[in-house]
Chain A
């Protein structure tokens, strides 16, 4: 690719989703990630119980992300061809899993507030 840079990537994503939606999505991702780091810093530890619930949610995030990508691209699992396709599919699943996992962890932490665990 000619002149492939982060700015090109941003320009392409802005065209793909529209400028407003793209930056709202980026902002939401940044806010959730920052909130996750915030609760880690605030609590000074990773709560195993919250982490376990977050982990349980991850398969749902993975499946939802894969289903969404297949749906918007008019394709199905039968179209997966070479190794790169499997890697991309796993990447999509991993993003969905981690994204939902972080979200669930953050929601638990913020809802319960800072507390000592039993």
Chain B
């Protein structure tokens, strides 16, 4: 039998290869600076994506800091998974874990909410009546969903009996929303979609659920029995012009009706009608299925704290932070992470990932007696699912520039399987790693 003697390996070559691999692995990691010694009291409001992640990061950067995190919710929700649950691709449990699972030892978690915040006296009062004083405050409360602003709506209505979908409300509601969508795409009729006029988390999600619904109806062979209407709150389908045009093109190709400047203000679940405020006056439409996304605002304690902008988003209450350093404009010992920040873009988990190193840098630098240097450029990302199996990985910044992570490799405005893979497989793992302060 012939033998390939020229492929003969040697023990020395094998060992050399192994040594090289180990050296590469060791060199590829980020160099971790020595922890900064401090006895600063750091209070974090909210143990969601931003709060849990910054707690983990600060614990490894600071030695001796007293870190307290305040959050009354015992469950942690992986919110980017809600769309997948509402499209029947995952069960409710996919998005649920325990708040305590993500918090490191050495951080004091108080299972209550903030009832009052006083940045003048550097103190916070909890819903349980405790008074907490801080040297540094990190506001990472997230936002509240103002369901009551939709007249006639009640969360208990969500589900297949009414045809009401409310997947923003939580994992269980997202699952009930899937049952409503499943029934609608079986039976046919008119499906209404849209978004609120306020700032909102994941502004792409209402578009995603609309496109997914159309795809599910097509896959079931029932597309000709279903009508899809997307109601945009503004004269565009997406705030970034280039993405707006791409979404409009996809909706045209798939025969999805879209209407501009239509803001949902009331629904009548009995008559199955929805009323929209438009520049020409109110418009009332019938539906068989409706996806409701309510107006979104800062939690009441934040709105009443004096931290909010006085002249911008006055009905919403986002905090007045510098858009690049995420440090409060009037209270320099206060920082913001995530949805609560009053910045022009980025109420997404991807934005949180980019807020974290900036806040960490400025806070740790201040404690160390230096000036922080890292800046946030408004980066946010949206794996904009266009059908089951394809998505567009759109990423952009404050300037509405596209900022692809893989330029020349993953085209941001192309419907790709690899972008779907990222959403389906890699995103939750990356999110979890971020929560542990490792990504």
Chain A residues with CB under 8 Å of chain B are 1-3, 5-8, 11-16, 37, 40-41, 44-49, 51, 69, 72-76, 78-82, 84-85, 88-89, 117-118
Contacts and interface: CB of A to CB of B under 8 A. Distances in A.
B385 to A, nearest CB: 11
B421 interface: yes
B415 A81 contact: yes
A43 B429 CA distance: 42
Contact of A82 (B4, B8, B9, B414): B414
A73 B439 contact: no
B297 interface: no
A45 B409 contact: no
Of B28, B29, B439, the most chain A CB neighbours within 10 A belong to: B439
Contacts of B426: 12, 16
A7 B3 contact: no
A76 B387 CA distance: 12
Contacts, number: 120
Given A12-B426, A12-B430, A16-B425, A81 B390 contact: yes
A89 B38 CA distance: 51
Given A37-B9, A84-B418, A45 B353 contact: no
B3 A47 contact: yes
Nearest to B18: A34
Contact of B389 (A1, A44, A49, A74): A74
B271 interface: no
B420 A41 contact: no
Contact of B436 (A2, A11, A78): A11
B420 A79 contact: yes
B126 to A, nearest CB: 31
B1 A49 contact: yes
B330 interface: no
Nearest to B374: A2
Interface in B417-432: 417-418, 420-421, 424-426, 428-430, 432
Contacts of B424: 73-75
5 contacts: A69-B421, A73-B389, A75-B388, A79-B420, A81-B390
B182 to A, nearest CB: 15
Interface residues of B, number: 46
Closest 8 CB pairs of A and B: A79-B389, A6-B28, A75-B389, A11-B438, A16-B429, A15-B429, A11-B433, A15-B432
A45 B29 contact: no
Given A3-B357, A8-B433, A76-B389, 16 more contacts: A7-B30, A12-B430, A14-B433, A40-B7, A40-B9, A41-B9, A44-B5, A45-B5, A73-B420, A73-B424, A79-B387, A79-B390, A80-B417, A81-B390, A82-B416, A84-B416
Contacts of A47: 1, 3
B418 A2 contact: no
B33 interface: no
B411 A82 contact: yes
Of A6, A69, A85, the most chain B CB neighbours within 10 A belong to: A85
B357 A73 contact: no
A74 B388 contact: yes
Given A3-B439, A12-B439, A81 B416 contact: yes
A73 B24 CA distance: 31
A44 B10 CA distance: 8
A79 B387 CA distance: 9
Contact of B417 (A6, A51, A75, A118): A75
Contacts of A1: 405
Contacts of A6: 24-25, 28-29
Interface of B: 1-5, 7-11, 14, 24-25, 28-30, 89, 353-354, 357, 387-390, 405, 409-411, 414-418, 420-421, 424-426, 428-430, 432-433, 436, 438-439
A79 B354 contact: no
A7 B417 contact: no
Contact of B4 (A14, A46, A69, A118): A46
A118 B425 CA distance: 48
Nearest to A72: B425
A58 to B, nearest CB: 17
Contacts of A69: 421
B418 A85 contact: yes
A7 B8 contact: no
A3 B436 CA distance: 15
Contact of A74 (B2, B89, B357): B89
Contacts of B4: 45-46, 48, 51
Given A12-B430, A79-B389, A2 B354 contact: yes
B421 A48 contact: no
Contact of A45 (B7, B387, B388): B7
Of A76, A81, A117, the most chain B CB neighbours within 10 A belong to: A81
Contacts of B432: 15
